[in-house]
Amino acid sequence: MNQDPVQSHSAFIGYVLWIFGFTGSHRFYFGKPVTGTIWFCTLGLLGIGWLIDVFFIPSMARKANLRFLDGKIDYNVAWILLTFVGVLGIHRMYMGKWITGILYLCTLGLLGIGYIYDYWTLNDQIAAINRSVSPT
């Protein structure tokens, strides 16, 4: 019997983040920070790229699942927290980064700069944590 491996990135979560796709959040989620930034700066390529992306989400999910390994920290939970309450640092607290999480809470994500930094690096931050606590 062939059992599907645990997926680090879900197409469903991609679609949830796509609702805010004009910010590029779904592209950042799937590990595409350059195009995520372009979507962020151009409001999803003036909405056109945002609409077209609805068809690309399944393939972006497959590629992200090949690139990022699942582990203790769930990518989906962290990305939902970052997207919806990121300036409060709750995603950092979820990852066990309590000091920076509290700092984000007190400074609204270091005045937004840390929030944007986390969009660029969250997948790599989670991957590093998951590698360091991988089961033996």
Q: How many residues does the chain have?
A: 136
And the tokens for 70?
Answer: 């699942």
CA 48 – CA 38 distance, rounded (Å):
13
pLDDT of residue 133: 78
Give me the mean pLDDT over the 15-32 stretch.
Answer: 91
Give me the mean pLDDT over the 62-89 stretch.
Answer: 94
And the tokens for 94?
Answer: 């979820």
Q: Would the pTM of this model clear 0.85, i.e. be above it?
A: yes
Q: For the chain, what is the mean pLDDT?
A: 92
Q: Where are the beta strands (DSSP E) in the chain?
A: none
Residue 57's Cβ-side half-sphere holds a number of Cα atoms within 13 Å equal to 22
Give me the mean pLDDT over the 11-33 stretch.
Answer: 92
In sign, the C-alpha dihedral spanning 117, 8, 65, 45 is negative
Give me the mean pLDDT over the 39-43 stretch.
Answer: 93
pLDDT tens per residue across span 93-134: 999 999 999 999 999 999 999 999 999 999 999 999 999 976
pLDDT tens per residue across span 79-91: 999 999 999 999 9
Q: Which percentage of the chain shows pLDDT scores above 70? A: 94
Q: Is the pLDDT of residue 21 over 80?
A: no
Q: Would you kindly state where each structural domain of the chain is located, as residue ranges? A: 8-68, 69-129
